[in-house]
Structure 1
Amino acid sequence: MKLDRIDRHILDVLQSDGRIANADLAETVGLSPSACLRRMRALEEAGVIDKYVALLNQRKIGRRMDVFVEISLIGQSNEVLEGFERAVARSAEIMECFLMAGDADYMLRVTAADPADFERIHREELARLPGVARMKSLFAIRPIVRKTAFHLGDRHS
């Protein structure tokens, strides 16, 4: 789907306020409410808008630590990769997982309340992941930038 200026403007507004009323969104982007709703539905149907969520404040729910875990697997066969990826997808503790190029095969992001909670996660979740040859944990001191909105270029010209 090719995004025009109005589509990008709609997406920009929705990324900062996903609960905005359609009438308010339409006014902001300069469309009638019905035209705005048609565009939103088209963006949803095309998969540009993946889903609507509430972003929680990690610290306010007691998840004060971010831990990045580098994973190296025992091999690169489809069976090993797919088994690991299925296990990661089932874990409620793993917030993000990326297939990597370089020294590690995967990079995970885990959140924990404190070091004891991370130890529990390590023991109950990470150590049980299949196909793992090596694991290295990196503890973040504090986040500097954490974005959820994608820059979509010159949206409003």
Structure 2
Amino acid sequence: MNLARGTVHAHLAKIEKLGVMRLSSTRLLPSALGRTISAMVRAEVDQHRIGEAINALGAVPEVVECFAPAGDTDLMMRVVATDPDDLYRVSEAIRLCPGIQRTSTSVFLRQVIPYRVVQLLDAPASGSRNQQPTLANPG
């Protein structure tokens, strides 16, 4: 491909600035760090304290993602743990965060489709009102 290292780094920096690239740390597998258990934790939150809850959840290292979904669940987190006892500890750390009223945990038995986005590069974003920055020419 004959691209200079500086050119590649400059293009990557521009793409990162656009906010369309994940952090490099998301490429690490939690299992490689000893966290072989993965689970989804749903939380019911006191709506007056949702900001406090989110801030406290951000301090729990095992919470690797957190979403605010539509429906009955206020927050949904993907968490990792070393074993069932550790998952219990993580679940308790979440439950004790300010504003968290109730939690429910579902353990993932195995991953059947890994995180992927390459297939989206060729798929049209039909019906999308919010156009994302294009990667065709990051310069």
Higher mean C-alpha deviation, range 143-152 or range 95-104: 143-152
Unpaired runs of 5+ residues, structure 1, are: 1-26
What is the rounded CA distance, in whole Å, between the counterparts of 2:9 and 2:81 in structure 1? 40
Asked which structure has the greater CA Rg, the reply is 1
What is the rounded CA distance, in whole Å, between the counterparts of 1:122 and 1:99 in structure 2? 18
Equivalent position to 2:102, from 131, 134, 148: 134
Paired residue for 2:59? 90
Equivalent position to 2:39, from 67, 83, 92: 67
> What secondary structure sits across from 1:88 in the alignment?
helix
What is the rounded CA distance, in whole Å, between the counterparts of 2:85 and 2:62 in structure 1? 14
RMSD: 2.7
Unpaired runs of 5+ residues, structure 2, are: 124-134
Size of the aligned set, in residue pairs, is: 123
What is the rounded CA distance, in whole Å, between the counterparts of 2:38 and 2:22 in structure 1? 25
Within the alignment, does 1:147 sit opposite 2:115 as a pair? yes
Normalising by the residue count of structure 2, what TM-score does the alignment of the two structures yield? Answer: 0.72
Post-superposition Cα deviations, 1:3-22, rounded to whole Å, max 9, x if no partner, equal xxxxxxxxxxxxxxxxxxxx
- Residues 7-156 of structure 1 aligned to structure 2 (within 5 Å): 27=1, 33=4, 38-53=10-25, 55-74=27-46, 76-77=47-48, 80-123=49-92, 125-150=93-118, 151-153=120-122
Percentage identity across aligned positions? Answer: 24
Deviation at residue 144 of structure 1 after TM alignment: 0.8
Aligned amino acid, residue 43 of structure 2: I
Deviation at residue 129 of structure 1 after TM alignment: 0.9
What is the rounded CA distance, in whole Å, between the counterparts of 2:74 and 2:26 in structure 1? 30
> What secondary structure sits across from 1:48 in the alignment?
coil
